[in-house]
């Protein structure tokens, strides 16, 4: 039976083979165990990993004091990278799982997720990388904030049915402010792209929770979601795509129909010249003009190199 190993597994396996310290090996193995597909075909591999892990744990126990911190960093894939965060049990993994179909574990008890796990969300014709993270707590490790900082945007999952909504929201704000990811009195100009999801809206006390959230975080449009009932997910996907501030541009060879399957992804506000640069440096240097098709008034008209493109524009380059 094929094991169907995911890119994150293979990546962790590679790092495991190169790892020098016991701590690094343990971290890689834990990651591999968390992301390996759980079916019959991987049963033996999983058993082997367990044995190796327990041996490494024993080794580590013997030489404590040589502690080296674990660190996580993910190379960006697709149109952008979006980190999902929140306090315990709010439904972070449920969101990532339903949007990407990845193997992250969902459970009714807290601290289910112990390491970050990635999955790809397909939105129309683009792929967006989501990172599920362990719960944010009073003593979350520095790498969690590193992931939030380096992501193109972040999604805060709030459980609006939780009894401790007030405390957990205040905790998140405090920790985010400490990491300069949320505006504070000292630093009001933070501009991290952040979406806030009010999850578990299917619960009877969710309406009340939403009111509390509005008071704690005014002037914000929350995305109301119920993963259990699959409600609000289309809106969430659209808002995630929009949070990346990118546009899709399709290229068209001269005299042929455009390729509508593989858009060029570029920053909002980019020009014809920027699109050409994304394709090839030499190509950009030789660019003369382009023809444009859009949903508005262009139907093959000539536009110059500085023309600012919109999402879903089709361009034909002339060099
Ligand atoms: N009623 C209800 N329950 C939900 C919803 N979304 C998730 N849950 C449940 O909430 C519990 C926690 O879900 P997870 O996705 O594991 O939450 P998490 O935030 O990843 O949890 P940790 O990784 O432990 O921090 C599970 O029992 C889910 O089934 C929802 O929209 N409504
Ligand atoms: Mg989780």
Residue nearest to atom 13 of ligand 1 (CA): 91
Instruction: Give the number of the atom of ligand 1 that is nearest the alpha carbon of residue 226.
Output: 31
**Does residue 75 lie in a domain region?**
no
Q: Which numbered atom of ligand 1 lies nearest the CA of 111?
A: 24
pLDDT at position 63 is 62
41 lines ligand 1 (CB under 6 A): no
Cα(112) to centroid(ligand 1), Å: 10
pLDDT in tens, 256-301: 999 888 899 999 999 999 999 988 888 888 898 999 999 889 999 9
| Residue 69 confidence (pLDDT) | 64
> Comparing 1-10, 144-153, 284-293, which segment has the lowest mean pLDDT?
1-10
Residue 238: which pLDDT band, with cuts at 50, 70 and 90?
Answer: very high
Residues 268 and 307 in one domain: yes
pLDDT given at position 64: 54
**Domain assignment of residue 1, yes or no:** no
For residues 191-219, average pLDDT: 97
* pLDDT(67) > 70: no
Rounded CA-CA distance 56/62 in Å is: 10
Rounded Cα distance, 186 and 177, in Å: 9
Name the pTM for this structure: 0.84
Q: Is 93 in the same domain as 231?
A: yes
106 φ/ψ angles, rounded to the nearest 5 degrees: -115, 135
Q: Are residue 119 and residue 147 in the same domain, yes or no?
A: yes
For 177, counting Cβ atoms within 10 Å of its Cβ (0-12 exposed, 13-18 middle, 19+ buried), the class is middle
| Higher per-residue pLDDT: 310 or 259 | 310
Residue 146 lies in a domain: yes
State the closest ligand 1 atom to the C-alpha of 87, by its place in the atom list counted from 1. Answer: 25
The pLDDT tens digits for 72-103 are 889 999 999 999 999 999 999 999 999 999 98
- What is the 90 CA–ligand 1 centroid distance (Å)? 5
pLDDT band at 4 (very low <50, low <70, confident <90, very high): confident
Cβ burial of 13 (10 Å; 0-12, 13-18, 19+) is middle
Spacing, Cα 131 to ligand 1 middle (Å)? 16
Whether residue 236 sits in one domain with residue 88: yes
- Residue 45 inside a domain? The answer is yes
* Ligand 1 within 6 A of CB of 227: yes
Nearest protein CA to atom 8 of ligand 1, as residue: 91
Q: Are residues 232 and 250 in the same domain?
A: no
Q: Give how many domains the chain has, as a whole number.
A: 3
Asked if residue 264 has its Cβ within 6 Å of ligand 1, the reply is no
In the chain, the percentage of residues whose pLDDT exceeds 70 is 97
- Predicted confidence at residue 68, as pLDDT, reads 52
Mean pLDDT, all residues of the chain: 92
Question: Are residues 89 and 200 part of one domain?
Answer: yes
The reply to whether 154 and 239 lie within a common domain is yes
69 found inside a domain: no
225 in the same domain as 121: yes
CA of 114 to the centre of ligand 1 (A): 15
Choice from 158, 227, 233, 236 to test ligand 1 binding pocket (greatest atom count within 8 A of CB): 227
| CB-ligand 1 contact for 133 (6 Å cutoff) | no
Last residue of a domain, one of 243, 273, 307: 243
Residue 70 in any domain: the answer is: no
For residue 88, what is the domain's CATH number? 3.40.50.300
- Inform me whether the pLDDT recorded for 125 exceeds 90: yes
Clarify whether residues 110 and 256 are in a common domain: no
| Within-domain flag for 257 | yes
| DSSP-based three-state secondary structure for 179 | coil
103 within ligand 1 shell (Cβ under 6 A): no
> Are 112 and 186 in a shared domain?
yes
**Full residue range of the structural domain in which residue 147 is found:** 81-243
Q: Does residue 2 fall inside a structural domain?
A: no
104 with 182, same domain: the answer is: yes
Instruction: Answer yes or no: do 148 and 89 share one domain.
Output: yes
Q: Which residue out of 83, 88, 91 has the highest number of ligand 1 atoms within 8 Å of its CB and is therefore the one to mutate?
A: 91
Write down which residue in 192, 217, 243 finishes a domain. 243
% the chain with pLDDT above 90? 72
User: How remote is the CA of residue 133 from the centroid of ligand 1, in Å?
Assistant: 13
Where among 202, 223, 243 does a domain terminate? 243
């Amino acid at each position: 039976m094929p094991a169907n190993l995911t890119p994150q597994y293979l990546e962790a396996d590679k790092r495991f083979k190169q790892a020098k310290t016991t701590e690094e090996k343990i971290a890689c193995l834990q990651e591999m165990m968390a992301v390996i597909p759980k079916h019959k075909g991987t049963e033996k591999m999983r058993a082997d990993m367990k044995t190796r892990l327990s041996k490494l744990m024993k080794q580590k126990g013997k030489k404590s004091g040589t502690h080296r911190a674990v660190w996580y960093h993910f190379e960006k894939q697709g149109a952008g990278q979006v980190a999902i965060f929140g306090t315990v049990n709010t439904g972070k993994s449920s969101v990532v799982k339903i949007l990407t179909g990845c193997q992250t574990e969902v459970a009714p008890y807290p601290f289910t997720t112990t390491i970050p796990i990635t999955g790809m969300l397909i939105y129309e014709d683009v792929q967006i990388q989501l990172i599920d993270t362990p719960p944010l707590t009073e003593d979350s490790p520095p790498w969690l904030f590193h992931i939030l900082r380096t992501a193109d945007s972040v999604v805060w999952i709030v459980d609006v049915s939780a009894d401790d909504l007030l405390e957990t929201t205040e905790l998140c704000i405090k920790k985010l402010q400490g990491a300069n990811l949320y505006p504070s009195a000292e630093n009001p100009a933070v501009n991290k792209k952040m979406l806030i999801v009010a999850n578990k809206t299917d619960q009877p006390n969710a309406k009340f929770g939403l009111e509390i959230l509005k008071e704690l975080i005014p002037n914000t449009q929350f995305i109301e979601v119920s993963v259990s009932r699959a409600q609000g997910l289309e809106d969430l996907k659209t808002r995630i795509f929009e949070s990346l501030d990118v546009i899709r541009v399709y290229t068209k060879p001269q005299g042929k129909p455009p390729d509508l399957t593989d858009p060029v992804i570029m920053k909002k506000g980019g020009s014809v010249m920027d699109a050409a640069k994304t394709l090839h440096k030499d190509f950009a240097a030789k660019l003369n003009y382009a023809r444009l098709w859009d949903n508005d008034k262009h139907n093959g008209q000539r536009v110059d190199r500085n023309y600012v493109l919109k999402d879903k524009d089709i361009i034909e380059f002339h060099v």
